[in-house]
Amino acid sequence: MSTVSPDMAAKIIDGKAIARSLTEQVGRDVAAFVERGNTLPGLAVVLVGNDPASEVYVKNKALQTHRAGMRSFMHMLPQSTSQAELLDLIADLNANSQIHGILVQLPLPAQIDPVVVTNAIVAHKDVDGLGEINAGRMALGIDGIVPCTPLGCLKLLQSVHTDMQGKHAVIIGASNLVGKPMAQLMLREGCTVSVGHIHTRDTRALAREGDILVVATGKHGLVRGDWIKPGATVIDVGITRVPTEHGKTRLVGDVAFEEALPVAGHITPVPGGVGPMTIACLLHNTLQAALLAQNVVSRPDQKV
Ligand SMILES: Nc1nc(=O)c2c([nH]1)NC[C@@H]1CN(c3ccc(C(=O)N[C@@H](CCC(=O)O)C(=O)O)cc3)C=[N+]21
């Protein structure tokens, strides 16, 4: 990205800057929350084994959590951890009043069922918003905790669109973590929504229809310049570490950035796009969970 001209640079959505201002806002809200006599919001992160994408996330997350004035609790478990052991840990975290948010990093090792584990987290601590209660709420348009990455993507889109009603939003990738909740959010914005996935016949033709194009496949460089409708807003969720010629590594997205830049109206870079927003939204969700916990305490009859 060394030779980006000023008119091209204007197209790049600065996720890092938008994330910083959201994190600062969360920090101010945390300070006000504590001033009212509440305990510091606490986030527990559970990492089982070592997935490279998860490790980048863990490192940045611990840093940002402290920056927003929250507590972070890290649980690193070996690759051989059983599902029963992980469920025991989650039961402890569910019962711990110092912990308001619980995030279990995905993917998990093969012996552990991610659906069982995400549903073991009590809904008001499910800061990833991936459990059936929060996912169901979103599908029904009821307030709940919205998954961090899609929420971050929405905020990036809102930085360049005041109104998305009637626009065609094309989402490539149909995962529970990103594609499906993203489709729900775009529906809520009044978009016409299409979701492309592994069985889609002509993904390029579908992508070219999008006024808004969100790509979350984990296949780096999949989306080429000629997959993009001229002037479209492109959100690149992919993040893959690839080797460079100099024996080092760099992070790349699912979109061939250099090709896409002249065609797109706006585009997010990798790194510095969706990644930092995911973390800022996680902090936002943790504060929201701490606020929900107050209601749980004051109204024990209420199922949250
Ligand atoms: N339950 C669950 N929820 C997740 O949201 C989740 C997950 N599991 N497992 C792993 C993936 C990966 N992920 C990242 C988030 C931020 C950066 C991030 O901060 N990226 C920086 C990288 C900066 C750098 O270190 O070079 C950037 O894009 O600018 C990366 C990766 C969340 N994930």
Averaged over 182-197, what is the pLDDT? 98
Determine how many CB atoms are found less than 10 A away from the CB of residue 145. 27
d(CA 80, CA 48): 8
Averaged over 248-277, what is the pLDDT? 97
Split at pLDDT 50, 70, 90, the class of 119 is very high
Same domain as 242, residue 159: yes
Asked if residue 153 has its Cβ within 6 Å of ligand 1, the reply is: no
CATH, residue 108 = 3.40.50.10860
Asked if residue 49 has its Cβ within 6 Å of ligand 1, the reply is: no
pLDDT the model gives residue 55: 74
Same domain as 260, residue 209: yes
Identify whether the C-beta of residue 213 lies closer than 8 Å to the C-beta of residue 172. yes
Q: Is 303 a catalytic residue?
A: no
Same domain as 71, residue 42: yes
Residue 14: which region, alpha, beta or left (left: phi > 0; alpha: psi -120 to 50)? Answer: beta
Q: In this structure, is residue 303 part of a structural domain?
A: no
d(CA 149, CA 245): 31
Query: In this predicted model, what pLDDT tens digit does every residue of 216-247 receive, in sequence order?
Result: 999 999 999 999 999 999 999 999 999 999 99
Residue 232 known to bind ligand: no
pLDDT the model gives residue 296: 59
Same domain as 128, residue 47: yes
Distance set, CA 17 to CA 14, 53, 140 (Å)? 6, 22, 32
Structural domain count of the chain: 2
Helices 52-67 & 15-35, crossing angle to 10 degrees?
50
Q: In this structure, is residue 1 part of a structural domain?
A: no
pLDDT the model gives residue 2: 56
Asked if residue 275 has its Cβ within 6 Å of ligand 1, the reply is: yes
Query: In this predicted model, what pLDDT tens digit does every residue of 35-87 receive, in sequence order?
Result: 999 999 999 999 999 877 677 778 788 888 988 999 999 999 999 999 999 99
Split at pLDDT 50, 70, 90, the class of 10 is confident
Same domain as 179, residue 68: no
Beta bridge partners, 195, equal: 171
Catalytic residue from among 11, 64, 105, 167: 105
Q: Is 158 a catalytic residue?
A: no
Query: In this predicted model, what pLDDT tens digit does every residue of 103-116 receive, in sequence order?
Result: 999 999 999 999 99
pLDDT the model gives residue 162: 97
CATH, residue 233 = 3.40.50.720
d(CA 182, CA 176): 9
As a three-state string, the secondary structure of 106-129 is CCCCCCCCHHHHHHHCCHHHECCC
Mean pLDDT score of the chain = 94
Residue 145 known to bind ligand: no
The residue range of the domain holding 86 is: 33-142+278-297
Q: In this structure, is residue 227 part of a structural domain?
A: yes
Measuring from atom 11 of ligand 1, which residue has the nearest CA?
54
Q: To test ligand 1's pocket by mutation, which of 45, 47, 60 has the most ligand atoms within 8 angstroms of CB?
A: 60
Residue partners of 1: CB distance under 8 A and separation at least 6: 257, 258, 269
Q: In this structure, is residue 27 part of a structural domain?
A: no
Q: In this structure, is residue 228 part of a structural domain?
A: yes
Q: In this structure, is residue 24 part of a structural domain?
A: no
Averaged over 166-193, what is the pLDDT? 97
Amino acid 263 reads V
Amino acid 65 reads T
Q: In this structure, is residue 304 part of a structural domain?
A: no
Asked if the model's pLDDT at residue 301 lies above 70, the reply is no
Amino acid 63 reads L
Measuring from atom 20 of ligand 1, which residue has the nearest CA?
275
Same domain as 43, residue 133: yes
Does residue 82 sit in helix, strand or coil? coil
Same domain as 257, residue 109: no
d(CA 45, CA 62): 9
Same domain as 209, residue 111: no
E strand residue ranges, 99-208: 101-104, 168-172, 192-196
Asked if residue 53 has its Cβ within 6 Å of ligand 1, the reply is: yes
Same domain as 255, residue 239: yes
**Phi and psi of 289, rounded to 5°?**
-65, -40
Asked if the model's pLDDT at residue 300 lies above 50, the reply is no
Within the chain, what is the greatest distance between any pair of CA atoms? 61
Q: What is the pTM of this model?
A: 0.94
Q: In this structure, is residue 165 part of a structural domain?
A: yes
pLDDT the model gives residue 304: 44
Q: Is 61 a catalytic residue?
A: yes
Please report, rounded to a whole number, the percentage of residues in the chain having pLDDT higher than 70: 96
Same domain as 156, residue 263: yes
Q: Is-cis flag, bond preceding 271, omega within 30? A: yes
Same domain as 272, residue 160: yes
Catalytic residue from among 29, 126, 128, 211: 128
Residue 231 known to bind ligand: no
| Residue 85 CA, ligand 1 centroid: distance in Å | 25
Query: In this predicted model, what pLDDT tens digit does every residue of 139-165 receive, in sequence order?
Result: 999 999 999 999 999 999 999 999 999
Same domain as 197, residue 133: no
Q: Which residue has the higher pLDDT, 25 or 55?
A: 25
